[in-house]
Amino acid sequence: MNRSETVLAFEKIVGTENVRLNELLKNHTSFKLGGPADIFLTPRNAEQLGRIIGLCNSNQVPFFIMGNGTNLIVRDKGIRGVVIKVFENFREYSVEGEMITAEAGLLLSQVANIALENELAGFEFASGIPGTLGGAVTMNAGAYIGEMKDVVCKTEYMDREGNLKTLEGEAHQFAYRKSFIQEAGGIVLKTQLRLKKGIKADIKNLMDDLNQRRKDKQPLHMPSAGSVFKRPEGYFAGKLIEDCGLRGFRLGGAEVSEMHCGFIVNADNATAEDVLKLIAHIQKAVKEKFGVMLEREVRIVGEE
C-alpha cells in the first residue's frame, strides 16, 4: 500500500476532516516546537483507534500516540509515519458515588473540576498539572501532595496490537514517573478514580492554594514542557541547576527559567535542537559539579 492508498484508508476510518498531512507538531505541543508529522490523525473513539493501529501494523507504518503534548519534545525534523492524537476526543466521563470514570482525553484540570462539583476529595493535587488524564496515568504524574497511583484503581488501555486490556490495582505497577502501561507502550483509553467524599469549600481552597503555589513558582506564562528532569534521590533538580549558576542561561532560543531552574522555556523561537543542547549542557554541568546525573522526565521523540 503506497502513501496515497494509506491516506485514503485512514480517511475511510476517521473521515477526511480528521486526517492532516505534514502537520506541524509545534502547533500541538506546550513547548511550541517540533517539525511535521507525515500523517496526523484524530480518531473519535476506541474502535477507530483500533482500526488505525491495525492498519499501521499490517502495513509496517510506524505510529506515535500523543495527548495534548505537554510533556513532550518533538525534534525539528518531525515524526515519520503516523501521529495519533487522542486529546481532541475521548472526553466522556461518569460519576458514581466516590468513583469517577473518565476517558483519557480529559485534561487533569477538567477531572479536578468534576471532582469538585461532586464534592469528591483526593484529586486536588492534579488540578494544576497540565496534560491529559491518559498521559498522567501513563507516567504516574504527581505534584505536591499526591500522585496518580494514590487514586487510580482501574484502567482500560489498548496495546500496540490494538487489543483492549484492563489493569486493576497493583497491576498498574506505578513507580516514580512510570507505570506498566508506559513500559509496555500501551494507550490509556479510560481510567477509574477512587476518591472520597469531602466538603466542597475545603476542596476548592486546597485546589486554589496548590494552583497559586504553582503560579508563584513556575513559568506558566512561557512555553515549556514542565519539569525537565526527574527529582534525583536526595536532591532537587532545580536547586542543583541553580547552584551551577545556570539560572537564566540560554542556548539559542531555549532558556533555563528565571523563575524555576527545573524548567526550560522557549524564550525566543527556540528549536528542539536548542532545547536538547541546553538539556545536555545542564546534565554535564550538574554531573561535573555534584556527581549527579540528571534523568530526563520529558519525552523526546522524532527523527534525529
Catalytic site residues? 177, 227, 297
Answer whether residue 87 shows pLDDT above 90. no
Helices (H), 103-199: 108-117, 133-139, 180-184
Q: What is the pLDDT of residues 103-137, one digit of tens each?
A: 999 999 999 999 999 999 999 999 999 889 999 99
Share of the chain above pLDDT 70, in %: 100
- Position 159: which residue type? D
Contacts with 132 (C-beta within 8 Å, 6 or more apart), sequence order = 67, 68, 70, 86, 87, 104, 105, 106, 107, 108
Judged by average pLDDT, the poorest of 27-31, 66-70, 197-201, 268-272 is 66-70
User: Between the CA of residue 247 and those of 240, 244, 264, 269, what are the distances in Å?
Assistant: 10, 8, 10, 19
Distance separating alpha carbons of residues 298 and 268, to the nearest angstrom: 20
Q: How buried is 145 (Cβ within 10 angstroms: 0-12 exposed, 13-18 middle, 19+ buried)?
A: exposed
Distance separating alpha carbons of residues 258 and 151, to the nearest angstrom: 33
> What residue ranges define each of the domains in the chain, with the CATH number in brackets?
3-85 (3.30.43.10), 93-203 (3.30.465.10), 219-301 (3.90.78.10)
